[in-house]
Amino acid sequence: MVWAPQASTDPDDRPIALVVDRKRFWISAIPMVLGLLVAIGLLLARASAALVLPVLALMFLTYRYARGGQTGYYEVREDGTLGDFLGSQIPAALKGMRPTKP
């Protein structure tokens, strides 16, 4: 998704793009779903919390893997290529921008 600056903002403001590493996302989705199903099954079987905690830790690690790689917010250069990496958190400059249509 790409956000463009409002017309009333500073002319030096650059559009911002959110880049998602889909391969990492789908690779991590399978263990996350399986972990959720196993955790629900263990809770329904009234298993010990010591059995559920490692499953939840595995789900957390797969979530961290999905958020890694090239995922994050980038500035868009004049020529349309990706510029500087702004981080994985929502940048403050995004509040003054509008989403563009694909």
Contact between 76 and 92 under an 8 Å Cβ cutoff? The reply is no
Residue 75 — very low, low, confident or very high, per pLDDT cuts 50/70/90? very high
- Distance CA(28)–CA(23), nearest Å, equals 9
Mean pLDDT of 33-54: 90
**Percent of residues, the chain, with pLDDT higher than 90:** 21
76 has a pLDDT exceeding 70? yes
Contact between 55 and 46 under an 8 Å Cβ cutoff? The reply is no
pTM of the model: 0.65
Does residue 15 or residue 9 have the better pLDDT?
Answer: 15
Mean pLDDT of 63-68: 86
- Distance CA(44)–CA(26), nearest Å, equals 27
Residue 48, φ and ψ in degrees, nearest 5: -65, 150
